[in-house]
Amino acid sequence: MKIPAVGGPHRAARNPGLWILAMLLLAGLFGVAYWAFVLTATGQQADDDALQGALSFLGEGRARSAALSFLNELPLVSGVVAVLALATAAIVRRNLYAPVVAALSFGAAAGSTQLLKHLLLFRPDMGISEATMNSFPSGHTTVATSSILAAFLVTAPRWRPLIAAVGGLYAAVTGISTFALGWHRPSDIIAAYLVAGFWALLAGLVILRRQPWWNCWDGPDAFWASSGTWPTLLWFPGVLGFIGAAGAYLFVTRLGAPAGTTEQGWFLVSGALLVIGAAGCLFGLLSGVFSHQTRRRGRWR
């Protein structure tokens, strides 16, 4: 008779095809975003409308100063977060493999962003925006997102859903600040999320297949930090963000701004919702893939 073996976890990352599929999805979405927002006049117009809305809203007031202060400290904060997480993981497990792979994923994300932005991709001048130099993807957003993903990679599986929720919030705040300051268009920020997510998936596959012994957990009901509430807090605002962004933009461009509001304000809201949607869905996807590929299940013998 077959009985479940006690304490017998399956091999972590047992299905490489799922990881490859997720990476191909992010790479495909990156290509779609580049084509839609950079290579077409309609996309450039929507992107520039959002950028002009951000510039007109912040001006030179207190809100701009707060956002600028946050972004000025962002590289240092992100670096400290990544270093502390990787050092803690190395000390606790007495093993450098996962921290080194996570650090390499951070470097690969930051490096590939600069390569894509400055050497491989271009932004055609369609007479829509005064800023014609390519800014796709955003370097600041890549650094912030890949730093929190480095921490996510070396975190114990039962903590990952919580860290994903915190990471999604951190990435969204970073993206909105970068957008609201007028440093980057929404599409630049979305592209940065996709680059960071791609390298995190690749690093996750490498880590989990090489070190399956600590990459297992007992499911979402076993521990509060692995509760199914955390992915919900990512997917819910993520999906609503995309719907709200499209709705707000189409509403104001087709019907005009309601009394007491301005088109720029609506464009700002649309861009911010788009950033929130992208951050929520990316971290929701990563949380789902990692959770599915590390959950403990009984084996039959």
pLDDT at 290: 93
Determine the structural domain holding residue 289 and report its residue range. Answer: 16-294
pLDDT at 67: 65
Question: Of the candidates 283, 242, 248, which has an alpha carbon nearest to the alpha carbon of residue 269?
Answer: 248
Which residues are registered as beta bridge partners of 4? 300
Alpha-helical runs (H) found in the chain: 16-38, 41-58, 62-93, 97-115, 139-153, 160-180, 186-210, 229-255, 263-294
Give the Cα separation of 102 and 132 in Å (integer).
Answer: 34
Q: Would 8 be classed as within a structural domain?
A: no
Residue 229: other Cβ atoms inside 10 A: 12
- Upper half-sphere CA count for residue 137 (Cβ side, 13 Å): 30
Give the Cα separation of 276 and 45 in Å (integer).
Answer: 20
Answer whether 293's CB lies under 8 Å from 18's CB.
yes
Q: Would 4 be classed as within a structural domain?
A: no
Question: Of the candidates 23, 47, 43, 22, which has an alpha carbon nearest to the alpha carbon of residue 32?
Answer: 43
Q: Would 228 be classed as within a structural domain?
A: yes
Q: In total, how many domains does the chain have?
A: 1
Answer whether 40's CB lies under 8 Å from 50's CB.
no
Q: Would 249 be classed as within a structural domain?
A: yes
Give the Cα separation of 85 and 201 in Å (integer).
Answer: 18
Straight-line distance from the first to the last Cα atom of the chain, in angstroms, rounded to the nearest whole number: 8
Q: Would 1 be classed as within a structural domain?
A: no
Determine if the pTM surpasses 0.95: no
Q: pLDDT tens digits, the chain, 301 residues: what are they? A: 333 333 444 567 677 889 999 999 999 999 999 999 999 999 999 999 898 888 877 655 566 666 677 677 777 778 888 888 899 888 988 889 999 999 999 999 999 999 999 999 999 988 887 777 888 999 989 999 999 999 999 998 889 999 999 999 999 999 988 888 888 899 999 999 999 999 999 999 999 888 877 887 776 666 888 888 999 999 999 999 999 999 999 988 888 878 777 888 888 899 999 999 999 999 999 999 998 888 775 442 2
Q: Would 257 be classed as within a structural domain?
A: yes
pLDDT at 77: 79
Residue 116 amino acid letter: L
Q: Would 202 be classed as within a structural domain?
A: yes
pLDDT at 7: 41
Q: Would 3 be classed as within a structural domain?
A: no
